[in-house]
Each structure stands twice: as C-alpha cells, then as structure tokens.
Amino acid sequence: MSGISFMGVGSGLPVNDIIKATLEAEAAPLKRLEHDKKFYESQISGMAQLKSRLSSMGDAMKDLQGLDKFQQLAANSSNDKLFTATADHVAGATAGNYNIEVLAEARSYRHVSGELSTTDPFSGTLTFFEKDGTTPLKDSNDDPITIDTNGKTLDEIRAAINSHEGLQGKVSANLVNTSETHARLVLNADESGEAGRFTANFSDATITKDTDLSSGEFQGLAPVAESDPGYDAYKEDLANNLDARIKIDGIEATSSTNRFENVISGVTIDVTAGASGQSESVGGLEVKRDDTAIKDNIEAFVKAYNDVIIHLNEAKKGSLYGDSTIRSIEGEMRNILYSPTEGEDADDTQKNFLALIGIEVFVDKSYDPKNPSSRNGTLEVDSAALTKALDENFDKVAHILGSSKKLDDTQPSGYAERFSDLATRLVSGGVQDGQSYKGLVQIRTEGLGKEVDRINDKVDSTNLRLELLEARLVKQFSAIDGIVAKFNSTGSFISQQMAGLPGYTK
C-alpha cells in the first residue's frame, strides 16, 4: 500500500505486519513461477543456439554438395613473371604438363596525330571506322559515328569525342601538348587487342595533311627463322599485331586480352604484365589434383558436423538435460553417420562409410558420467588414411562425400547432402506428401514459448489476486480497527461515569 497508514491505532493490533505476512504467504507461488520461467527461457536460448549451429552446418554442407567440390585441380606456373593459371574440373580441365611460351602481350590501339594548333578552329568531319578502314563504327541507332569539327578548337574536338555516346567503351581522346600553341591528338582504343583497333578519317584538309596516324612502335618476336620465306612480312605483321600471343607446346594461340580462356580445356592462362620484357620467354604449366583444397573441404565438413555434436553434448549438461528433442537430433545425426552413401550395388555400398576414407568417430574411453567429454561422438580425420584414399581411390572419396541427387538425379545423396537436408528439416521444416510441416527445433521452441506465456499469464493473475486480497484485508482490518476503537471509547466512557459514582473503587 502507498501513503501513510494509521491502521492499528484504534485496536492496537500490528495490522500492517499481519497484512504483509499474509500477502507474502499468498505470493510464495510467484517464486516458483519465476524459477520455472527462467528455466524455460534458458531452454529457449539453448534451442536458439542449437538452431544457429544446425543452420551453419546446413550452409556448410550445402557448399560441399557436388562431385566438383572434391575434384578440384590446381594450375601451377613455373614462372609467375610470365604467366599464372587456374584450372576448373567442371569446365573440363584434366591433369597434365605444358610448356608455355609468351610471344607478346595484348596492347591497346593508339591513333596519334601530327602537331595541330590548339587555338585555331577546325572545319570538316571526323569519321570513325572499324579496323578495315571502310566499315563505319555505329552507335546504338545503327548510325555511323561522326564528330562535327566545324568551328571547334582541338580541345573541343577532344571533349566531343569523349562525350559521344556511341564511342563510350570504344574510343577515348587526350591531348599531348608539344608547345604553347600546338598539341597532338591521341585517340586510344578502350578495348585491347585487334578487336579494339579502329581508324579515323579527318575530312579537314589541314588535319589530314598534318596527321600521319599510326599505331605506334611495337616490338614482337618472330616465330620463324630469318632465312625462312616470308620472314620480313611476318615480322612486320607481328610488330603491328595488338593481340596477346602465346605458344602451348608449340601451338600458337591469340587473345585480344592477356587472358586465354579454355585454350587448354578448363584452364585459364593470364599473361603477366611485363612478360614480354623478361629474358626468359618459356615457362612450365602443371595441372594436377589440388589435394590441399580437397582436404580443406573435408575439414570444413568435419568442423560443421562437430560444431553441432559439441553443442548437443554441452546442452545436455545444462537446462536441456534429458530433453527429448536433443535425443531425437542425436539419433538422426547418428543414423546418417552410420548409413553409407549408396553405391553401384549392395557390396559397393558397404565400402562407402566415412571410416573407410579416414574420417573416424572419437570415443571418449575415460567416460565420466558426471562430466562427459563434449568431444565424444565428434569426427576426426586420419590424415594418413585420407591421403591414401585420395591417392588410391580418389573418385570414391568424392562420391561418398559430395555426390548429390539434387544436382544430378543419377547420383545418390552423399553425406554432405544428407546432413544439409537434415539441418533444413530440423530447423525450418518443409513439404512432404503435399503437406507442409514444421522443424523439430521450431516446434520445441514454440512449445517452450507457450510455457513462458502461460507462466506470464499466471504471474499476472496472481499479482491481480494479491492486489485484490490486499485491498480486502485493508478494508476488513480497517473495519475491525474502527469497531475496536469504538469499544475502547465506550469502555473508557463507562469507566469515567462509574468512577463518579459514590463508593466506586477500581
């Protein structure tokens, strides 16, 4: 109660203490309810953490689905100053060794004018053509690209070129000042290689006279001996060719950029900037199975599984001890773990257990029932056994772990796919036989939430009942206090009257 209370003054009874003691006795169930609420909330927190672990496992396992995740190749260059390379098994790369000779790097075409006035206006039209010199470059409306130079200064011509929508991504212009009144107009192809080559025709006689447009000075390596017929023509063509050029085991290939894709099936070769200036022009390329990347994927598989198992073991030591949901999840994890990936036949299937490729279950031999190890039931990788499995039966390792019915319905579901599906089923449910269903963790979390709501409702109703009880007690004791006060007052009055009677003595 709030305010100043004078209850008990009339009766002399400790009314406030009586009411307080009564309310405390009636409020005793609230402590049990609060205890139960904290317990359920700790279970909800445990379920949330379990959901997070299962979701992480599902995501990790999803990234490991597909045979390609366990069939990775590495492409190694013996000379990174010449080239680097990558290999993709899915794109068709296979193991092999190659000699790569870098003949030339890709360059961008450059059109350079003679010295032109930077102050005098020009006249005429600047027209752009493809590298054949006759086919006009066209804009998005299929119109030939031209620049009207009438009345424009050289800098205004440069700005008009750079702002022309049809030339965006094709040609850019700059000025190189050679004096206070003269400059050279430099047109650069934005796309490298022969694919970016163009020609520009100035109809202005002055510009035409002063402009000797060329691709600049280029250097290249002739692939034939000087004594061979056609050497001079080939050398000239080589010097002016803008494409990157390499030889793969003597077979020449070209690219408009310094990247050569799929020249070797599934392999990408990148010519290093400055490779043409190296004293050595030949390097070795080795494409081989990338055991390091494959083992990293297997470690990711093991870690994703272990994170869930360790959390389950820890949860059993706390508020989720004995929880049926935990036992159900453990059972489903074990069922998958001890079910081999389907093989070609029954005999082959029995060869598809994780233990047969070096992934074993850790068993705590010094088991303490009061404090069991959180690592019990986790997976461990026997590196020697795994290396042997990769060396002797690599396809079997990929099949056991990465085969995916979802990606290829001719394959069974490997361990990664089955654990991913389990995580999804436990966390968010799905659809089965046309009916949607909730995940086990979701159902349990919702059930615990309802228990908390029930307790909150009971606490609210108990507090309301206590408020009403307090009001009733106050009213009742106030009435009693008033009656007793009246009795005391009447008794005092009678005593005073009797005291005035003759012969009265106490």
Q: How many domains does the chain have?
A: 3
Cα 338 from Cα 332, distance rounded (Å): 10
- Consecutive H or E run containing 153: none
Which tokens belong to 27?
């409020």
Domain closes at, from 268, 289, 310: 289
Same domain (yes/no): 490, 366: yes
Does the residue 402 lie in any domain?
yes
Same domain (yes/no): 446, 371: yes
Does the residue 500 lie in any domain?
no
Same domain (yes/no): 86, 227: yes
Same domain (yes/no): 141, 273: no
pLDDT at residue 8 in the model: 47
Same domain (yes/no): 326, 443: yes
Domain closes at, from 210, 232, 253: 210
φ and ψ of 350, to 5 deg: -70, -10
Per the document, the length of the chain is 506
Same domain (yes/no): 121, 241: no
Does the residue 486 lie in any domain?
yes
pLDDT at residue 125 in the model: 87
pLDDT at residue 503 in the model: 66
Helices (H), 181-287: 205-210, 231-240
Q: With H, G, I as helix, E, B as strand and everything else as coil, classify residue 101.
A: strand
pTM: 0.60
Tell me the sheet residues that pair with 111. Answer: 187
Cα 174 from Cα 225, distance rounded (Å): 40
Does the residue 306 lie in any domain?
yes
Same domain (yes/no): 295, 372: yes
Same domain (yes/no): 354, 428: yes
Same domain (yes/no): 170, 154: yes
Cα 239 from Cα 217, distance rounded (Å): 8
pLDDT at residue 208 in the model: 40
Does the residue 216 lie in any domain?
no
Same domain (yes/no): 274, 341: no
Same domain (yes/no): 328, 368: yes
Cα 1 from Cα 467, distance rounded (Å): 9
- How many CA within 13 A on the CB side of residue 350? 2
Does the residue 38 lie in any domain?
yes
Does the residue 503 lie in any domain?
no
Domain closes at, from 153, 179, 210: 210
CA dihedral 199, 203, 207, 213 (to 10 degrees): 20
Helix, strand, coil content of the chain in percent (nearest 5): 45, 20, 35
Does the residue 487 lie in any domain?
yes
Judging by DSSP bridges, how do beta strands 96-104 and 251-255 pair with one another?
A: unpaired
Burial classification of residue 28, based on how many CB atoms lie within 10 Å of its CB (0-12 exposed, 13-18 middle, 19 or more buried)? exposed
Structural domain boundaries enclosing 121: 108-210
Cα 307 from Cα 54, distance rounded (Å): 9
Same domain (yes/no): 147, 233: no
pLDDT of the chain along its 506 residues, tens only?
444 454 544 456 676 777 778 777 777 787 888 888 888 888 888 888 889 999 999 998 988 898 888 878 899 999 999 999 999 887 888 889 999 999 999 998 888 887 888 998 888 888 898 888 889 999 889 999 999 988 899 999 999 999 999 999 999 999 999 999 999 888 999 999 988 888 888 775 444 433 333 333 222 223 344 555 554 554 555 557 889 999 999 999 999 999 999 999 999 999 999 998 899 999 999 999 888 888 888 999 999 999 999 999 888 888 788 888 889 999 999 999 999 999 999 999 999 999 999 999 988 877 776 777 888 889 999 999 999 998 888 889 999 999 999 999 999 999 999 999 999 989 887 666 667 778 888 888 888 888 888 888 888 888 888 788 777 877 777 777 667 767 777 767 677 767 667 766 65
